[in-house]
Structure 1
């Protein structure tokens, strides 16, 4: 019986990790949540027959994450500098179409955008739009009426549409921007990099108060270019930048020898320019980025 329960849970673990990571924004918190769900699963399934394990696990996982989000809100209020999600080094194991779908709902800019939603909006939107639950299922999970559920999803969808407009060639443009960024750091010449920034571009850096990083969002192409030329060019001298896949899209690893010192990725706007540059330096958020094999993506699920 114990073995059968364990096997059933492992079947759904990638789904639960996909839900928990998108809701919580960090893989470590997601793993803690999924482990708590496993303990509840084992306790309940050992004593009572669960007719629909997937639905039961999805509901328990979602509500465990919502509880965690409410408590995390207070911690983030005192966080030093901008708070950014934990990046994942990834590889894709599905068809090109499925890979695009998985990447679109896991890419770093999308993860940042989710922070604008309330916990309930985030859960409702992800369950409905990413994990394809019907409105009745989402309403049951969140313990709200179906009418209210539709309103919450609609409100979340508007926020997402306003904050996340995609272009077909985004990965190619991202690679071009990141290559120019790397060249600027190697040579000190930021002209090519600056030409790829939108006038209203933003640079977000997350050091968590544990390493040196900009503690305010830097606004504007000229200000960002100046920061790269007169700040990062000197501070990161002697470090290596390596191309990797981050959250399903192009990214860079900043490393010193074998030690990962940071992770960089970006968001491209509809004009094909860089809208936001993200630099993650908090060492607590770098354990899932290495030079080896990344976590695998298939559909909305995450395989460790």
Structure 2
């Protein structure tokens, strides 16, 4: 007789492990520390688990954590696993599991979760993950930074401005973004459309676009409204598709004034 499939386990967030060797579960991701002196007597050992919908281990990334000396405090240990879990919680949406992001995970193990290193690790994740995973990850970070209610509201102007700049076409932006004070250089080669002229240019921190003039497409307001009324995932997904997944975090960082990476103070550290 055929056995019924295992029951699905609802995703839960919370602490696992012990006080001395903490771990944290974020959705289907578990980040935890261990002590394996036979592997590395001076550093803690790091395990990152991806769970399947039944709560069983589907994939894992493990190794000595050179960023975590055994002498670090219990709070520093807890902070590390919580921040890492939040940074990579969207990997549950990644079709390749953890294998495609080994570069970023190894970087975290070696360099830790300081702000500059978190930004660098997030960039690696965005380059190596699917659009779906990047969209989910950025949406989660916008909610952490702005709040669940405020994030979709703040994104309405971002979507409208980007649509005006791109003419609802993907921006031809193969090269990395150049840092320019107060401006995100994302408008390169939009598709031509018909209608009244609007501004084309980089989006400033105030949310205003400026530069060359291009016409908006027909039904512009209706298309923008449809995206904005579909929720945060649709809004972020539109940005990711338009500017590219490896550039979306930089673009949103410039337009929201948030780094869009998890920071210890968000979790009480």
Fold equivalence (TM over 0.5): no
TM-score normalised over the length of structure 1: 0.27
Q: Considering fraction of residues, name the structure with more helix.
A: 1
TM-score normalised over the length of structure 2: 0.29
Higher relative contact order (CA 8 A, sep 6+): 1
